[in-house]
Amino acid sequence: TLPTHPPLINIGTYVRATSIDHLVEDFLKAGSGDKEGDTPIVKKQIVSLGAGNDTRFWRLSSGPLRDYIASYVELDFLENTTKKAMAIRKSSQLSSVIGQSAKLVKGGTGLSSDVYHLLPVDLRQAVEETLQPLISSESNILSPGIPTLFLSECVLVYMSPVASAAIMKWFSDSFQNVCGVIYEMFSLGDSFGRVMRDNLRLRNVELPGAEAFPTLDSFRNRFTEAGFPLANALTLSEIRKNYVSQAETQRIAKLELVDEYEELELVLAHYALAWGCKVDTTTSSPLSEDMGGWGLKLADEPTVQE
C-alpha cells in the first residue's frame, strides 16, 4: 500500500501541484492560439531543476500538449539521475514515450533522447560548468531562441542566495524569451517558521537560502533583480483562497477531512510560489502578448473563508 500523509500535507501538495500545472500548461500554450489550427504551435523548452522523481514530463507527453515541447531537461544529483535513468530504461511504458533515440549518457548516470534529457548536475557549482553546456553547439540540448521555462520546487532554498541568483541570472541572460517558477518555504523568522527550521535541523537539513527572502516582496524581487521584469509571488494560503474555485475546494474538503483550518492556513502561509518572465517586446506577436500576461488567474468563485 502507498504511504498516507496528513490532510494538511495533502492539501498543500494539491495547491502546489495544480498551480504549477496551470503555469506550465499556460506557458506551453503561449503564442499558439486558443483553438487547434488557429496559429502554428510555438514549441517551448522546460528545464526542471532538482527534478527528483517528478513525473510532469511523462504526464505532458501523454496529453494534448506533447507536441508543444521542443526539449525537456531534468537536472539533479548524480545518485538521483542514475536511479531514474535505470527505472526509465526498465519500463517499456516510459521508454516508449521517449522513443528509439533514447540512450544512456554520462556513464549510465543520465539519459538523453530527441526531446527528453536527464542529466547529473550539482547546481551549487558554477553555472559555467552546470548550465552553460546545455546551450553549447556540441550538446544541442537547448536553443537560446526557443521560449524557455525553468522550474524550481524546493531546490534553491537549499543553496546560498549567491548561487541561486547566479542560476536565475544565467536563464535571463541566455534566452530571448524566458520564464521561471520557484516554490519553497519562506517567512521562517516567526515562531512557526522557527519550529519548521528546528524540525529540519533535527534531520541535519539546513536552509541556507531561506533568510534572504523573509517576505513576499523579497521573494518576488529575486526575479526582477535577476532580469525578469514581470514577476509575482503568492503564499499557498492566498492561492487556495483566491485562485482555487469554491467548487474545487469543496470537492477536496470531502476527500481530506481537516479539523483545524487555522493550522492549515498557518502551514500554507509559510510556503510561497513565485513566477517571473522576461519577454522580447521588440516586435508585437501572440507569443509576447501571451507571455506578458502569463501567471495564475483568479478563480471565478474564490473559496469562502472557513
Q: At what angle do helices 161-174 and 216-225 cross, to 10 degrees?
A: 50
Q: What is the pLDDT of residue 262?
A: 83
- Which alpha helices (H) appear in 149-259, and where do they start and end? 161-174, 191-201, 216-225, 236-242, 246-255
In sequence order, the 6+-apart residues with CB closer than 8 A to the CB of 200 are 206, 207
Cell matching residue 203: 534531520
Residue 39's CB is within 10 A of a number of other CB atoms, namely 13
Instruction: Using DSSP bridges, classify how beta strands 271-278 and 178-185 pair: parallel, antiparallel or unpaired.
Output: antiparallel
Q: How many helices (H) and strands (E) does the chain have?
A: 12, 9
Q: What is the pLDDT of residue 303?
A: 61
Q: What is the pLDDT of residue 239?
A: 95
Q: What is the pLDDT of residue 246?
A: 87
Single-letter amino acid code for the residue at 198:
D
Distance from C-alpha of 215 to C-alpha of 75, rounded to nearest angstrom: 28
Instruction: Give the pTM.
Output: 0.93
In sequence order, the 6+-apart residues with CB closer than 8 A to the CB of 81 are 74, 75, 106, 109, 110, 111, 118, 119, 120
Task: Report the half-sphere exposure of 126 (CA within 13 A, side-chain side).
Answer: 2
Cell matching residue 217: 516582496
Distance from C-alpha of 135 to C-alpha of 144, rounded to nearest angstrom: 7
Contact 42, 69 (CB under 8 A): no
- Each residue's pLDDT tens digit in the chain (306 positions)? 556 777 888 888 999 999 999 999 999 999 987 655 567 899 999 999 999 999 999 999 999 999 999 999 999 999 999 999 999 999 999 999 998 889 999 999 999 999 999 999 999 999 999 999 999 988 889 999 999 999 999 999 999 999 999 999 999 999 999 999 999 998 888 888 888 889 899 999 999 998 899 899 999 999 999 999 999 999 999 999 999 988 888 888 888 777 777 888 889 999 999 999 999 988 888 999 999 999 999 987 666 555
Q: What is the pLDDT of residue 7?
A: 80
